[in-house]
Amino acid sequence: MANAPTHNDHFERHRAAVLIPTYNNAGTLGAVLSEALTYTSHVIVVNDGATDETLAVLEQYPHLQLVSYSPNRGKGAALRRGFSYALQQGYHYVITMDADGQHFATDLPAMVQQIEEQPEALIIGARNLQQENMPGKNTTANKISNFWFWVTTGLKGPDTQSGYRLYPLLRMGKMNFFCTKYEFEIEVLVRSAWKGIKVNWTPVKVYYPPPEERVSHFRPFRDFVRISILNTVLVLVTFLYIKPRDFIRFLLKKENWKRMWKEEVLKAEESNVRKAASIGFGVFMAIMPIWGAQLLVAILVSIKLKLNKALVLLSAHISTPPFTPFIMFAGFYTGRIWMGQTAKDLVFKDGITFRTFRDNMLQFIVGSVTLAVLAGIAAWLLSWMLLGMFRKEKKNG
């Protein structure tokens, strides 16, 4: 009878390795390495410019694959260097573990199992955030991170800050990252989701030592500022590029039109008035001059008013490229109705001064609001009439 495959066999079959970035974790690194090596010989350590006894600890494990450099560059830089090294060595997946002893190697088999079940997914080890010694600030920060991840990707998850992850390196391809510190783990999640990589979670255990025993290199002020700046950039990119891109891709697929017609437009339990109101409100929000926040506001208000969110978002996309310049032009000239003798024919025709900028901007804003109201009402009336022609609604709808 053949021997049962070992955990190491599974790592080799999937071309997977454990990747451990470390910086001044000499007190815990040895135990982490010993435990990981009981499951696989494919362990990569990235020594991110450690200045303590890390090198002495690493010398006790001569069969490790080691990437070492100096000076310290941050966790993000260490992970990026580890990804590149792993690809060069022929690995298709890496499972990242922290070197501070918080993660348990006993969860490695479950992480490898995810490769068989979801071979192209990025898997995050979801921690129990209510357990003993879990810092309260970590729980709060994780909730904030989860929220911004939802805003930028539309995906909801329990733990976006966990460093215990399975990365599908081949599926990620040659992505060029920018962050080098802790915020990298946010960037890689969001941009992987933008690339179409499925992001999923699996439960893992975590150990948090008492406060007096913890070693953390997180710098609250600096790293919080960096994370805040990154989230701001990601949100802007989401609403200025990713959402319009995804919407155009959606429209190019015939099956999406059929599904949307059946599931949203013909949905029997929703009245024609509510559907028409959803379309009219979406058109209204698309023209309102609140650049970069139109879709976000549209979503929040549609939830509050219990409108059909799919129809709101669909109609709100009339302001995306290539239609944006025409809508802005129409809004500017609609403003002539209110400006009287100060109305402008061409933007900045008298030169670029504070006064001309103010006058043109006022005309544009007033005109855009007027156009938004008129277009929203027109879209509501037209939609209501068309829906009455093409669908039957329940009498109690």
Any long-range contacts for 390-397 (C-beta under 8 Å, 24+ apart)? Answer: 390/265, 391/265, 391/266, 391/268, 391/272, 392/268, 393/268, 393/270, 393/271, 393/272, 394/268, 394/269, 394/271, 397/268, 397/269, 397/270, 397/271, 397/272
Strand order in the sheet with 43-48: 65-69, 43-48, 16-22, 93-96, 165-168, 122-126, 199-203
- Of 97-106, 249-258, 364-373, the poorest mean pLDDT is in 249-258
Tell me the CA end-to-end span of the chain in Å, nearest whole number: 67
Average pLDDT of span 25-31: 93
Q: Which of the listed ranges 143-152, 162-171, 365-374 does the model predict with the highest average pLDDT? A: 162-171
Distance CA 16, CA 114 (A): 12
At residue 310 the predicted structure's pLDDT band, cuts being 50, 70 and 90, is confident
Host H or E run for residue 69: strand 65-69
Average pLDDT of span 139-164: 88
So what's the pLDDT on residue 131? Answer: 57
Pairwise pLDDT comparison (163 vs 208), residue with the higher score:
163
Report which residue type is found at 248: I
Average pLDDT of span 123-137: 70
Tell me the pLDDT tens digit for each residue of 330-366: 888 788 888 776 666 655 455 545 565 566 778 788 8
Q: Is the pLDDT of residue 390 over 50?
A: yes
So what's the pLDDT on residue 77? Answer: 96
> With pLDDT > 70 as the criterion, what percentage of the chain qualifies?
83
So what's the pLDDT on residue 252? Answer: 79
Q: Is the pLDDT of residue 240 over 70?
A: yes
Tell me the pLDDT tens digit for each residue of 175-192: 999 999 889 999 999 999
Average pLDDT of span 206-233: 71
So what's the pLDDT on residue 123? Answer: 97
| 309 class by beta-carbon count within 10 Å (0-12 exposed, 13-18 middle, 19+ buried) | middle
So what's the pLDDT on residue 356? Answer: 59
Distance CA 370, CA 324 (A): 17
> With pLDDT > 90 as the criterion, what percentage of the chain qualifies?
48
pLDDT, averaged across the chain: 84
Q: Is the pLDDT of residue 193 over 90?
A: yes
Q: Is the pLDDT of residue 114 over 80?
A: yes
Only one residue has tokens 């504070």, namely: 354
So what's the pLDDT on residue 394? Answer: 47
At residue 210 the predicted structure's pLDDT band, cuts being 50, 70 and 90, is low
So what's the pLDDT on residue 343? Answer: 65
DSSP label of 341: G
CB proximity list for 7: less than 8 A, separation 6 or greater: 39, 40, 108, 109, 112
Helix, strand or coil, per DSSP, at residue 90? coil
Pairwise pLDDT comparison (313 vs 209), residue with the higher score:
313
Tell me the pLDDT tens digit for each residue of 79-102: 999 999 999 999 999 999 999 999
So what's the pLDDT on residue 31? Answer: 95
So what's the pLDDT on residue 94? Answer: 98
So what's the pLDDT on residue 279? Answer: 92
Pairwise pLDDT comparison (344 vs 383), residue with the higher score:
383
Tell me the pLDDT tens digit for each residue of 36-90: 999 999 999 999 999 999 999 999 999 999 999 999 999 999 999 999 999 999 9
So what's the pLDDT on residue 354? Answer: 57
So what's the pLDDT on residue 204? Answer: 94
